[in-house]
Chain A
Amino acid sequence: MAYIKKSPWIIHYDGSSCNGCDIEVLACLMPKYDIERFGAVNMGNPKHADIFLITGQINSQNREVVKTIYDQIGDPKVVVAIGACAIGGGVFRDCYNTLGGVDKVIPVDLYVPGCAAKPEAIIDGVVQAVGLLEEKKKRGVVTHKEGTGDETRKLPPVPDLNLEQE
């Protein structure tokens, strides 16, 4: 049995949404829906997370951020795009800075539709994500290469910073 099914930890990132979907996501974490029943916990930190919930569309400002967060989640991991914005840009799709949905920058595994997505739909998405996690674990899908953790970075040395004294 894959234990990852029993303990999916979530990280939630808000792109440039209208906050409608965020409020719904947070509602899932509140006592009423209590997703901790399934062992799911909302982590603030990608390194501890398994499921990546994104609301809102991607724009030129947050493109790199979403990529970085995705990179910092250890395998196996699942990305869930929540709401019309995250799926394809939604009402913002014609904005000057909008690039579109989340799948423009990172691979998305599940799409939860709605504007805003309902908590029940979100929970359903998470539950399906959990199934997918187990499957990915079984199939051994990885995005990171494993090594000795010792990759040397060839960068210029840190310049002397003028640290203020106390």
Chain B
Amino acid sequence: MTSLWLIIGYVVLAPLIGGIISGLDRIITARMQGRYGPPVRQAFFDVFKLFEKQNLTVNRFHGYYLVCFLIFIIFSGILFFGGSDLLMVVFAFTVADIFLVLAAYSTNSPYCSIGAERELLQMLAAEPMLLLTAVGFYMVFGSFHVSVIYRAALGGKLPILYLPGVFLGLTYVLTIKFRKSPFDLSTSHHAHQELIKGLTTEFAGPSLALIEIAHWYETVLLLGMVYLFFAFVPIIGVIITLFIYFVEILIDNTNARIKWQLMLESAWLATLVLGGLNLLALYLFAMISKGG
């Protein structure tokens, strides 16, 4: 029953929370740059405004892929907050991203296509770590199900104590998934643009609003994953999760965009070193305790 409430809560509240986070993000960013910044509700204003604009399209197909993108993002969030299989969550998340990429490809515009290709590169860089996180949880808790992990965490088995490496690796990759600098290759926010606007180039008005809303859901889902590491005391968990997001903003504002080569190499290195070593340690630990 609680999981049903969580699902409803996610579907209804995630855009609200995501929008507020996005607004805070912009304020904090502005303050870091010595500016005053927009109001907190700015993200909502933007989206409402986009719905007021005309829907410009290059062809009549690409808008529909975006609808699928949004639906699948919501679906993967439902799976996550419904306590379902973590692997399936990541897979559904991937499907959603693929729809975004297809939408961009479908416009057949050079800027969009480059953005799509870079988005794929970002997925290539980030995907292993997300799946490795799931496997890490499995090795500790013996289940891929978020509900089982969550209950165990509430029961006092702290995921972060077992999976510090995986957590750091995930944080690294989160920057890619949030599309924040130095990894905002495929789209970029605010004044700085990489190749106009990456894969969102051809989407205008309501279509762009859909992408924005999907990003809110996405943000909440990813932060949910971070929260899972600290789920033992809700307050502390939330605080740490928000702190992690703050760190992401800090990184966003202190780093210049890098080339995709460096992104791919460093993300995989982080996955292998941080995630891989963590899993190896768990494996050896399990072996020793079995042997003893």
- List the interface of chain A (C-beta within 8 A of B): 2-4, 6-7, 29, 31, 34, 36-39, 41-45, 47-48, 50, 72, 74-76, 137, 142, 144, 146, 148-150
Within 8 Å by CB of B59, from A7, A41, A149, lies A149
Which A residues are in CB contact (< 8 Å) with B38?
A: 36-39
How many Å lie between the Cα of A41 and that of B38 in the bound state? 10
- List the interface of chain B (C-beta within 8 A of A): 26, 30, 33-39, 42, 45-46, 48-49, 51-57, 59-60, 63, 190-191, 193, 196-197, 200-205, 208
Most chain B beta carbons < 10 A, residue from A47, A50, A142: A47
Q: Smallest Cβ distance from A157 to chain B, in angstroms?
A: 15
Within 8 Å by CB of A41, from B55, B190, B203, lies B190
How many Å lie between the Cα of A7 and that of B191 in the bound state? 14
Interchain Cβ contacts under 8 Å between A and B, 6 examples: A6-B45, A39-B39, A39-B46, A43-B197, A76-B52, A150-B60
**Known contacts A43-B197, A45-B193; is-contact A2 B52 (Cβ 8 Å):** yes
Contact A39 B42 (CB under 8 A): yes
Which A residues are in CB contact (< 8 Å) with B57?
A: 149
Within 8 Å by CB of A6, from B37, B49, B60, lies B49
The 10 closest A-B pairs by CB, nearest first: A6-B45, A3-B48, A74-B54, A149-B60, A47-B204, A149-B57, A7-B49, A44-B193, A34-B35, A3-B49
How many Å lie between the Cα of A58 and that of B60 in the bound state? 34
Within 8 Å by CB of B56, from A38, A74, A148, A150, lies A74
How many Å lie between the Cα of A137 and that of B53 in the bound state? 9
Which A residues are in CB contact (< 8 Å) with B54?
A: 74-75, 142, 144, 146
Contact A36 B52 (CB under 8 A): no
How many Å lie between the Cα of A38 and that of B37 in the bound state? 8
